[in-house]
Chains A and B, each alone.
Chain A
């Protein structure tokens, strides 16, 4: 009778138990047993996880708040409450990955519940074991459902990086720069007079990425120290330059090897120490490091990014010249130091400072578009398939992607990234020509700042005029354009010549001009 009441209305059943407990203590245990039986029956009757909300009262409201309850029941209730919470989290989660995590946690909790009930010797353990087994079956069904859902579509991983440099932790994304690293090694390792090196390339070509990865690819006797001249601290004052210059070397060597620790008295060297006779102080500090470098047969490679910052009008010219004098002196008198400048201008293109009198014997290493094979490897296997990149290029879309970007590294990464995002939105991993065209439309906008910079800052009016004609499809003959304009546009890697006609080297540039300049 009591079981029927509970089955129809648990609240009424609980009240009945309270009444029995108070008025008929002899029947208390029988009443509890009836309620536990009814509760476990309900738990066993659930058809799927969605029905868990129907047993909210069972897991949240114990049989009695005052009475001492059987130990097995209390233990089971605690387990069931945890499972209930995980099932609720599983049902509310929309992100596939986190949904799977919630399901894994649910299954673990059900496993605990099963173990606890197997161990329990209490009167009701077998009933709860049956509940645990039933819930285990429900969890397995959900696992199968999730697996089926995954077969429908699992997002393609998108590891591509555009805009930011490729840091060493992005293992496979820096490709096609083996020649650059080889050249640096050749110029600096095992030679008595190390030349100043200039890593030259247009913007967004991968210079900073190369500098940040020197450690991985250079000879172990070279210790790269990355210095970013974009940071105002290097061009504020002689004191600030010397202090920060020394500090960055200190930080690098401190983490490089313990043998360098005695060479430093950095903790006692503050900015104030460098304020007077700054460059002399710097020389004294470098003397101490030089000894250890010679002992260890190591060379510090000062990798100076954005070196043209010294050329800008915002930087005091005499400070810029003092800094360059310091570099010249370091290179001439310190055999264990080497210099690698990096920028998007050659020394000849700069005019405010007489660079050639400071950077003597400079070897330029040019960094350009990626080799085709390397770029192809990048877009087809940026990470191993087991890490989630399994996009499939159909209709030669891989080759078309590389053609349209001309293997310019920033654009390759940007277009590949937009393409993966598009395919994830479409929930499809096979890329067809129409998909690529759609991604191309997107990348013309997402890479807007790249094109805009070339258009506004890199090009002169007469060059822009030629490019507009070309974009309009007016067929510009090579012979109709001055040598100066052609040379400028070629140097900026914007044009190529094709059977006497000028053409865009990067087709995306043409599309950008059509979209934003015509």
Chain B
């Protein structure tokens, strides 16, 4: 018999995704007005699978064709450089890339101009493994978070980061960046009793 269960990898097929209805409702309701949600949960609890489900089903759930979803993981070595990270986002909306040689602040400027001028389009960044930013303070200076906060409040861009720790745990010089207080937090925990039913042995 083919074993339908997967472990250690995120679920990619939305038909194999199960549960999390309340969490999905909360996230999608917020996204309908481009509000940002931070997903927090321990490892292997299903954060990546949830983000990927939103990536594959987001348009359908939101019923909004003008919205584009991009799934990025900070585990991907390519995303550890700021211009590359920004370009991954721009690629989804088919906009010209920022030069890889651009100074960090110039790259942010250019990115901000492009996002502000999306002409009716909206963009949702589903950002996995947010905790990795802790090791990337040099590549992602405080100005990155300032710029993102400004853009995430503008209505064209929304972000759903997933992390093991609360976002506030990530800070510069023991000071919480105001970037983090624009996120509403949704915890991912074990399945509810109702969600466990399909996995229960049949007696």
- Interface residues of A, Cβ cutoff 8 Å to B: 95, 97-98, 158-159, 161-165, 167, 170, 203-204, 208, 228, 230-233, 236, 306, 309, 314, 414, 417-418, 420-421, 424-425, 445-450, 452-453, 456-457
Contacts and interface: CB of A to CB of B under 8 A. Distances in A.
Nearest to B29: A158
B75 to A, nearest CB: 24
A200 to B, nearest CB: 16
Contacts of A164: 33-36, 152-153, 155, 182
Contacts, number: 109
Interface of B: 21-22, 25-26, 29-30, 32-36, 38, 60-61, 63, 105, 108-109, 112, 142-143, 146-147, 149-150, 152-153, 155, 166-168, 175-176, 178, 180-187
Given A162-B184, A449-B180, A232 B36 contact: no
A449 B105 contact: no
B149 A414 contact: no
Contacts of B155: 164, 167
B168 A456 contact: yes
A244 to B, nearest CB: 8
A452 B166 contact: yes
A364 B179 CA distance: 26
Given A163-B36, A204-B181, A232-B147, A449 B168 contact: yes
A360 to B, nearest CB: 28
Contacts of B149: 230
Contacts of A162: 35, 184
A65 B60 CA distance: 37
B184 A163 contact: yes
Contacts of A233: 105, 108-109, 112
A447 B166 CA distance: 12
Contact of B183 (A163, A170, A309, A424): A163
B59 to A, nearest CB: 12
Contact of B25 (A230, A306, A424): A424
Contacts of A421: 22, 25-26, 29
B91 to A, nearest CB: 23
7 contacts: A203-B178, A208-B153, A230-B150, A306-B178, A421-B26, A449-B166, A456-B176
Contact of A425 (B25, B183, B187): B25
